């Protein structure tokens, strides 16, 4: 449904179109009775015609409307049971979204600015998770930018729960969310919880830092495969001047297993903030009072010692000066005293402890070294044997799998692995059919080797 300027829709007068996405179109509209501008989101006709989608939309919109948080876009009204279209009216923010910030910053945002926006979104997500609401579609385009005199620039999260409408009706789990930011479990039969939002928030942080999506690929099947199989990307591989600790933050946030990620979105934001701050601690006398420092949330946290915080992004080592060598004690004549070589052991007194032990018990050193070498050789042999026996290349021929899938899924209907596919591959297989729309379909095949290791292969079964 396309609305023109001046159209009267559900009691709102359309001013102009703000943007469009995979779920619908957003308009700037005016509510005449209050003379208030709102963002009016109208979902596509295909969802309004599906009774399941309509019921899911009404459920999720009702939950989202109850969320009250300064970093969550307020929902004013929604479509009723008798409305021909599904729509939401929300608070209008004129600052655009995070994608518009990246358009004007092609090298990515300043890390401090990016982390500040992520922290705003993290607070909003943790609040929603505490209410039992998942977002399911965290991405830069859903981080709206607000400006006010008191707080300056801040991020406000929108589209809570709307992706759930599509997940439950039109497609399989995960397809409603944007492929570039979806957690690996969204493409499988594993249940998704708040940790899926943490993964997507990590993807969003990566893009704000680098101005690139985490897995830029040519087609959606390759993006799915990257989320399932490839390691988390490194921000410093794009911009080496970024703090090195941010690589570990992204790797934890985008861990393949949900249990390996941060426990909350705020924990991710705190780790990112700490990665951009160099903390140098000094010992404090035992009788000195404990120092307290504010955390990101404004709470005071006792420290074990006094500390100095230096912005690692601004303050760099000064290579223009050379540190002075340590001072030496000079004797009364201005000459450094010579080391003592007399005594019962003579010059041997200045030798190292290892050298003295070697002279006394050489056979113990030899036995110890040989034991360490033998243990290391055994570990290497075990690792090489495992990868040699059950590496992906040892039991999976990707070309054969792709041909078998294309043959087995010629009708584009079944979502289960047929018996002839297992016979053709020669190993245990599991299949997940990922249907984007009526014309495109992907099949994710999981092949299990003899030792239980899995290889995921995405095959595009769409007709040319």
pTM (two decimals): 0.62
Across 239-248, 396-405, 434-443, the highest mean pLDDT is recorded for 239-248
From the list 97, 120, 137, 197, the catalytic residue is 137
CA neighbor of 151 nearest in space, from 120, 172, 176: 120
Structure confidence at residue 407 as a pLDDT band (50, 70, 90): low
Whether 121 and 252 share a structural domain = yes
Whether 204 and 148 share a structural domain = yes
Counting DSSP H helices and E strands in the chain, the numbers are 15, 15
Give the C-alpha separation, 179 to 191, whole Å: 17
Mean pLDDT lowest among 25-39, 298-312, 407-421: 298-312
Q: Do residues 282 and 303 lie in contact, with contact meaning Cβ atoms separated by under 8 Å?
A: no
Q: Left, alpha or beta for 248 (phi > 0: left; psi -120 to 50: alpha)?
A: alpha
Whether 121 and 269 share a structural domain = yes
pLDDT at site 47: 81
CA distances from 459 to 35, 167, 189 (A): 52, 21, 17
Is 326 domain-assigned? Answer: no
Whether 133 and 196 share a structural domain = yes
342 is catalytic: no
Give the C-alpha separation, 442 to 419, whole Å: 19
How many distinct structural domains can be found in the chain?
A: 4
Give the containing element (helix H, strand E) for 146.
strand 143-148
pLDDT at site 291: 43
For helices 265-275 and 194-210, what crossing angle results, to 10°? 30
Structure confidence at residue 297 as a pLDDT band (50, 70, 90): very low
Whether 406 and 388 share a structural domain = no
Is 302 domain-assigned? Answer: no
Please tell me which residue, 231 or 219, carries the higher pLDDT value: 231
Give the C-alpha separation, 435 to 402, whole Å: 17
Whether 137 and 272 share a structural domain = yes
Whether 80 and 41 share a structural domain = yes
Please tell me which residue, 156 or 439, carries the higher pLDDT value: 156
Whether 82 and 135 share a structural domain = no
Q: What is the pLDDT of residues 121-147, one digit of tens each?
A: 999 999 999 988 899 899 999 999 999
CATH number assigned to the domain comprising residue 199: 1.10.510.10
- The encoded tokens of residue 330 equal 């000079």
pLDDT at site 353: 57
309 alpha carbon, distance to own chain's centre: 27
Whether 190 and 59 share a structural domain = no
Is 67 domain-assigned? Answer: yes
pLDDT at site 411: 52
CA neighbor of 459 nearest in space, from 215, 233, 440: 440
Q: Do residues 157 and 135 lie in contact, with contact meaning Cβ atoms separated by under 8 Å?
A: yes
Domain that holds residue 152: 98-277
Across 137-151, 183-197, 257-271, the highest mean pLDDT is recorded for 257-271
Q: What is the pLDDT of residues 266-278, one digit of tens each?
A: 999 999 999 988 5
Give the C-alpha separation, 228 to 239, whole Å: 25
Give the C-alpha separation, 88 to 381, whole Å: 61
Q: What is the pLDDT of residues 357-376, one digit of tens each?
A: 556 666 667 777 788 888 88
Whether 160 and 35 share a structural domain = no
SS3 170: coil
Please tell me which residue, 414 or 383, carries the higher pLDDT value: 383
Whether 50 and 183 share a structural domain = no
Is 356 domain-assigned? Answer: no
Give the C-alpha separation, 123 to 254, whole Å: 19
Whether 20 and 32 share a structural domain = yes
Which long-range contacts does 185-188 make (Cβ < 8 Å, 24+ apart)?
Answer: 185/258, 187/224, 187/227, 187/228, 187/432, 187/434, 187/444, 188/228, 188/432, 188/444
Is 307 domain-assigned? Answer: no
Give the C-alpha separation, 406 to 400, whole Å: 10
pLDDT at site 332: 42
Is 296 domain-assigned? Answer: no
Question: Dihedral (C-alpha) 356, 357, 363, 366: value to the nearest 10 degrees?
Answer: -100
Is 32 domain-assigned? Answer: yes
């Amino acid at each position: 449904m396309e609305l023109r300027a001046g159209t009267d829709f559900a009691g709102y007068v359309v001013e102009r179109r703000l943007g469009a996405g995979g779920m619908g179109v957003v308009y700037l509209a005016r509510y005449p009775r209050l003379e208030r501008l709102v963002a009016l989101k109208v979902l596509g006709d295909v969802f309004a015609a599906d009774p399941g989608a309509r019921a899911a939309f009404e459920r999720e919109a009702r939950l989202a409307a109850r969320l009250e948080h300064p970093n969550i876009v307020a929902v004013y009204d929604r479509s009723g049971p008798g409305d021909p279209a599904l729509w939401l009216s929300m608070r209008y923010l004129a600052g655009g979204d995070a994608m518009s910030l990246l358009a004007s910053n092609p090298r990515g945002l300043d890390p401090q600015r990016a982390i500040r926006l992520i922290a705003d979104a993290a607070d909003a997500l943790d609040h929603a998770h505490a209410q039992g609401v998942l977002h399911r579609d965290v991405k830069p385009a859903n981080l709206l930018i607000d400006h006010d005199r008191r707080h300056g620039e801040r991020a406000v999260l929108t589209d809570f729960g709307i992706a759930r409408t599509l997940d439950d009706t039109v497609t399989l789990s995960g397809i409603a969310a944007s492929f570039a930011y979806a957690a690996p479990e969204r493409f499988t039969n594993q249940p998704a919880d708040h940790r899926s939002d943490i993964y997507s928030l990590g993807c969003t942080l990566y893009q704000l830092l680098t101005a690139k999506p985490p897995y830029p690929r040519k087609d959606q099947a390759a993006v799915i495969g990257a989320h399932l199989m490839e390691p988390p990307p490194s921000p410093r591989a794009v911009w080496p001047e970024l703090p090195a600790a941010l690589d570990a933050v992204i790797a934890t946030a985008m861990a393949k297993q949900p249990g390996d990620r941060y426990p909350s979105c705020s924990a991710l934001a705190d780790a990112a903030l700490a990665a951009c701050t160099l903390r140098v601690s000094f010992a404090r006398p035992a009788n000195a009072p404990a120092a307290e420092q504010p955390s990101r949330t404004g709470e005071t946290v006792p420290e074990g010692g006094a500390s100095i915080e230096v912005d690692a992004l601004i303050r760099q080592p000064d290579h223009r000066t050379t540190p002075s060598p340590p001072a030496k004690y000079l004797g009364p004549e201005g000459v450094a005293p010579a080391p003592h070589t007399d005594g019962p052991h003579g010059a041997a007194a200045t030798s190292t402890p290892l050298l003295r032990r070697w002279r006394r018990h050489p056979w113990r050193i030899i036995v110890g070294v040989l034991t360490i070498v033998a243990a290391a050789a055994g570990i290497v042999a075990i690792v090489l044997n495992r990868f040699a026996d059950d590496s992906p290349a040892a039991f999976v021929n990707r070309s054969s799998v792709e041909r078998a899938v294309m043959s087995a899924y010629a009708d584009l209907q079944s979502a289960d692995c047929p018996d002839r596919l297992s016979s053709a591959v020669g190993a245990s297989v599991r299949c997940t059919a990922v249907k984007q729309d009526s014309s495109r379909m992907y099949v994710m095949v999981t092949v299990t080797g003899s030792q239980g290791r899995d290889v995921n292969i995405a095959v595009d079964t769409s007709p040319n």
